[in-house]
Amino acid sequence: MRMNHFLTAVAAAFLVLGARAYADDAASPPPSPDANAATGADIYVYPADGQSERQLDRDRYECHGWAGKQTGYDPTQPPLASHQNAHGLPPDHTGAVNGAVAGAVIGATVSGPHDAAGGAMVGAVAGAIIGATSDAARARETAGLASRQTAAEQAERARIEKQAYDYRRAITACLEGRGYTVK
């Protein structure tokens, strides 16, 4: 009978942890767009003066080099190193799980031989609550770090988008100067 109480307590602890995990996942914002996504540096070039495909390739290559030197931007290179976004990862709840297990063992040990199941049940619930509190504090700290990283990444992204815009203007000017229509 007492073993049933213990199993019920463990099941209840896991249900609480599962509900909390679902609430944490539902409350967290969607992950930010990939920092390495295309910045829109693609252009479309039409040979307005009857230039050959070979001449177009050569002119485009030369204008690409010139525009890159003018702006410091190269659309063929990834603009940012890939960052692991800890905020986008689901919470691991290891503190709550470890707390429940440790609490069950301690509760069973402290309560005595006749009430081990009841002690384990109380210890598991108490340990899960303490561990969940630790998990919540860790999640708040991680979210703060992620928001600071996000602000820095947004500033870097704005800088790169400005460079990409300047690159498009420079390569467009170069190609139009050589007799191409650029869109």
Closest by CA position to 103, among listed 83, 79, 119 = 119
d(CA 102, CA 108): 10
Residue 84 has pLDDT above 60, yes or no: no
The whole-number pLDDT of residue 67 equals: 94
Average pLDDT over residues 83-100: 62
Residue 53 has pLDDT above 80, yes or no: yes
Residues 130-173: tens digit of each pLDDT: 888 887 888 777 777 767 778 888 888 899 999 999 999 999 99
Sequence-separated (6 or more) residues with CB below 8 Å from residue 8: 121
Q: Which residue has the higher pLDDT, 38 or 154?
A: 154
HEC sequence for 47-69? ECCCCCHHHHHHHHHHHHHHHHH
Question: What is the pLDDT of the chain when averaged over all its residues?
Answer: 75
Output the six-digit token pair for 124: 């598991």
Closest by CA position to 51, among listed 180, 183, 182 = 180
The whole-number pLDDT of residue 59 equals: 94
pTM as predicted: 0.45
Q: Which residue has the higher pLDDT, 72 or 152?
A: 72
Residue 182 has pLDDT above 80, yes or no: yes
**Band (46; pLDDT cuts 50, 70, 90):** very high
Domain boundaries, the chain: 2-17+42-78+96-182
Q: Which residue has the higher pLDDT, 144 or 7?
A: 144
**Band (32; pLDDT cuts 50, 70, 90):** very low
Residue 31 has pLDDT above 90, yes or no: no
Average pLDDT over residues 114-134: 80
Residue 50 has pLDDT above 80, yes or no: yes
Residue 75 has pLDDT above 50, yes or no: yes
Average pLDDT over residues 51-76: 93
- Report how far apart, in Å, the C-alpha atoms of 129 and of each of 4, 60, 100, 118 are: 21, 64, 8, 17
d(CA 74, CA 41): 9
